Structure 1
Amino acid sequence: MTATLIYTIMAIDLPQWALKEVDKHRRGYLWRGRKEERGGHCLVTWGKVTRPNELGGLGISDLRNLGIALKARWLWLQKTNPNRPWNMLQIQVPEQVKAFFSIAMASEVGDGMTTLFWEDRWIHGQRIVDIAPRLHAVIAKRVVKKQTVAEALNEHLWLHDARAAHSVGELNEFLALWDVLWEFDKHYWRLCSSGQYSASSAYSHLFWGAVQYGPFDRTWKSWAPGKCKFFLWLVAHDRCWTADRLAHRGLDHPEKCILCDQEQETINHLLVACPFS
């Protein structure tokens, strides 16, 4: 059910009611194995269930966070692969995705604070006038005399200055200069050691600040069957229907453990203290 939504949430921002409807069915299949469930069947809140395993969840995808992580891919490709046909179009992504992307991506243009973009020899010992003389001639003089490399490459401001190019020769030089400057404009993904975007790194960092799940290794990296791991996960969250939880909810319950008749039944008593079990 999660996989069928991948391409949809990558392209559009699904309304909240649609995500809730999908989650309703996913909860039903998880806790009851059927289409619908009631609140009492859900032993752990859905917000915890959709956390990664190491953060105390079951690793079921949070659809909202998954959508943010997948949509960030378009902004990454727009920055790092300008040759795509759609690159110059305005990409329709929500503001929260743009905010996340601005944190996740960083750019490197070297120092460039004192080097003049249009005048100095900073491209393999050449000036731009040596590479594209006709394009250089149409740039405003005040820009040529003042604009530094850092200023020009930041957000591709030099493209704005080159709008005065109209002739075929000027446009050819513009394209040639674009190819040369590509290697000086580096972008890297801060959330991954490789520096390249990945949906998994984007998704995992949307849970930044969440509390780590202590028994993670002992629960999920053991050789126990899946149903035993699931039971241990419920134990760690204290979500088994023992007598103490029934009493807390005001439901009928035995006063003492029905196996040893010594103290109230709790999950800790059953697994550790009860001499019978």
Structure 2
Amino acid sequence: MVATIIYHAMALDLPPWAIKAMEKIMRNYIWRGRKEANGGHCMIAWPKVARPKELGGLGVADLKRLGCALRVRWLWLKKTEPDKPWTSFALQMDSWVEALFSMAVTTEVGDGTNTLFWKDRWLLGQRIEDLAPLIFSMVPKRIANKRTVAKALHNFRWTGGIHGEATPQVIGQVLQLCNIISDTHLQIGVQDTHIWRLSSSGQYTAQSAYETLFQGSTSFGPWEKI
């Protein structure tokens, strides 16, 4: 059953009602050994069961987290293989997927043509939103979602995307950002390198994405005996 779910979850954001229905079937199989079970037979703390064994669960898939981990693959492929025909399609991703991708990927800038100036982690492994949050809040989304490092650095074009009052705090963050950016030198003809920092290979894996979504959970010492 999980294999069928994976097939659909790679492309679709499964609605809550569908996840609930599938989890009910999984609970019934675990508790009663069959698809159907009467009410009161499946008294399982499902959020705890659906954790990796090392976190005290039974290793049963958490379908919401699994779907998120699988769909982030498309954002990774769109970033690392921009010449594929399908990358021009608009990808509709929920906030979980976008947040995971933003956290997981850092960039080493080459020519700057495949790195978003305002949104990607290309400055000291951080986003401009992290380094200069006030400035970032003053940049329209249409600019933040499209302007590349190459275009933004040309003739300090990035400063023209900031809309709002030039308060002392804003000026201070602009100067700070100028100082950090001054160390960036574009390399014409050298592609930007995107790194999946959740795996040792630097490449996306569904397992690393899935496990990261359990960060903050308490580890379970004797899990190897399960």
Q: TM-score, normalised by structure 1?
A: 0.53
TM-aligned CA deviation for residue 161 of structure 1: 10
- Whether 1:215 and 2:209 are equivalent positions in the alignment is no
Higher Rg: 1
Alignment of 1:117-196 (within 5 A): 156-158=148-150, 180-182=189-191, 185-196=192-203
Distance change (3 Å), C-alpha of 1:83 and 1:214: same
Distance change (3 Å), C-alpha of 1:187 and 1:67: same
Alignment of 1:92-111 (within 5 A): 92-109=92-109
TM-aligned CA deviation for residue 155 of structure 1: 5.9
Q: For residue 29 of structure 1, what is the amino acid of its counterpart?
A: Y
The runs of 5 or more residues in structure 1 that have no matched partner are: 113-153, 163-177, 221-277
1:112-159 CA distances to partner (integer Å, 9 max, x unpaired)?
Answer: 9xxxxxxxxxxxxxxxxxxxxxxxxxxxxxxxxxxxxxxxxx963436
- Whether 1:60 and 2:60 are equivalent positions in the alignment is yes
- Over the matched positions of the two proteins, sequence identity in percent amounts to 51
* Aligned-pair Cα RMSD in Å: 2.6
TM-aligned CA deviation for residue 37 of structure 1: 2.6
TM-aligned CA deviation for residue 43 of structure 1: 5.1
Distance change (3 Å), C-alpha of 1:87 and 1:205: same
Q: TM-score, normalised by structure 2?
A: 0.64
Question: Match of 2:142?
Answer: none
State the alpha-carbon separation in 2 of the partners of residues 93 and 50 from structure 1: 23
State the alpha-carbon separation in 1 of the partners of residues 8 and 61 from structure 2: 15
TM-aligned CA deviation for residue 193 of structure 1: 1.1
Question: Match of 2:135?
Answer: none
The runs of 5 or more residues in structure 2 that have no matched partner are: 113-145, 155-186
Give the secondary-structure state (helix, strand or coil) at the position aligned to 2:107: strand
TM-aligned CA deviation for residue 81 of structure 1: 0.9
Q: For residue 88 of structure 1, what is the amino acid of its counterpart?
A: S
Q: For residue 63 of structure 1, what is the amino acid of its counterpart?
A: L
Aligned length: 160
- Greater RCO (Cα-Cα under 8 Å, separation 6 or more): 2
